[in-house]
Amino acid sequence: MEDYSEWREAGRIAGEALKYGKALIKPGARITEVLDKIEEKIYSLGGKCAFPPQISMNDVAAHYCPEPGDEFCFKDELCSLDLGVHVNGAIGDTACTVDLSGNNQRLVEAAEKAIDAAIEKAAIGVKLSEIGAAIQETISDHGFAPVRNLSGHGLGRFKIHDEPSVPNYNDKGNTVLKKGMTVAIEPFATTGQGLIHEADDATIFSLINKKPVRNIFTRQILKEIESYNDLPFTTRWLARKFPMIKVNFALKELLQNNIIKAYPPLVEVAHGLVSQAEHSLLIDDKVEVLTRV
Ligand code: MN
Ligand code: MN
């Protein structure tokens, strides 16, 4: 029987960090400073980053992290803040959306109501397709489309994307929620077509294949990457320890040798605006929303 205390702790820290980070997203705030502060908050609360905190804007649904030294400051964007915390590999994954324009409140609400509907539906024995149906119906009722090729996921120790996949629409599947599962549910609502594709220029990566490398810079950087426990990392983290010219050289070599995998920004195909909400749940006799604080 797994002890869930570390999952509860990771979830609580993630929830606190999300609340803290959400309040920092304001016109004039610099994106890199906001993300750095969120990371500091996670560590000060006793957690570690399960992946780099990220703020995806407007038609970008996920996986946007600024380059080191990026001076971008928020103005009127639709900002989805997504962060993950781990405590000894037990993960809490949570997200919310901040509308700085004031014109997209209903889109934000669509994702929030969808996560509420999904949580209400979640219980031992419930089909994941029923959760997806609840998400789809809520988002459609708001006049938007769910993003169908993004989904929630099981959470494993040191494994962010574990089985099962939790659809954001009724995929007619028969997989059910089981007692003891930890899952992240993450509806995305969009004014576009409800599909994303991968853009270029990833800044998020993870180690997938441990293999020796010859180049001295690449070897040094690979050593640092190994300290992330196979969890995703971002170029900004490496830039704190190494010159960017070495980082870029090493990342290129590591990608070419299939040692790391890139997670490029995910952009809505029709460039619709995208909102997101996410919570991590423990499926038990009574479902616990681990990241709700
Ligand atoms: Mn997330
Ligand atoms: Mn997630």
Predicted structure pTM score? 0.97
94 CA to middle of ligand 2, Å? 7
139 CA to middle of ligand 1, Å? 19
Which ligand places an atom closest to the C-alpha of 62?
1
Q: Is residue 93's pLDDT more than 80?
A: yes
Which ligand places an atom closest to the C-alpha of 84?
1
CB-based neighbours (< 5 A) of ligand 2, an ion? 93, 184, 186
pLDDT at 159: 96
81 CA to middle of ligand 1, Å? 8
pLDDT level of residue 2 (50, 70, 90 thresholds): confident
**Mean per-residue pLDDT, 48-73:** 97
pLDDT level of residue 45 (50, 70, 90 thresholds): very high
Q: Is residue 221's pLDDT more than 70?
A: yes
Catalytic residue numbers read 82, 93, 153, 161, 186, 278
169 CA to middle of ligand 2, Å? 16
141 CA to middle of ligand 1, Å? 24
pLDDT at 1: 57
**Mean per-residue pLDDT, 245-268:** 97
pLDDT level of residue 89 (50, 70, 90 thresholds): very high
154 CA to middle of ligand 1, Å? 12
* Angle CA 161–164–168, to nearest 5: 90
pLDDT, tens digit (0-9, with 9 covering 90-100), for 71-81: 999 999 999 99
**Mean per-residue pLDDT, 70-99:** 98
30 CA to middle of ligand 2, Å? 24
d(CA 86, CA 158): 8
pLDDT, tens digit (0-9, with 9 covering 90-100), for 161-211: 999 999 999 999 999 999 999 999 999 999 999 999 999 899 999 999 999
d(CA 147, CA 233): 25
pLDDT level of residue 246 (50, 70, 90 thresholds): very high
Q: How far is residue 200 CA from its own chain's centroid? A: 18
Which ligand places an atom closest to the C-alpha of 54?
1
Q: Is residue 9's pLDDT more than 90?
A: yes
Q: Is residue 29's pLDDT more than 60?
A: yes
Which ligand places an atom closest to the C-alpha of 63?
1
8 Å CB contact between 262 and 205: yes
Dump the DSSP string for 124-169: TT-BHHHHHHHHHHHHHHTT-EE-TT--EEEEETTEEEEEEEE-SS
pLDDT, tens digit (0-9, with 9 covering 90-100), for 118-150: 999 999 999 999 999 999 999 999 999 999 999
pLDDT, tens digit (0-9, with 9 covering 90-100), for 46-56: 999 999 999 99
Computed over every residue of the chain, the mean pLDDT equals 97
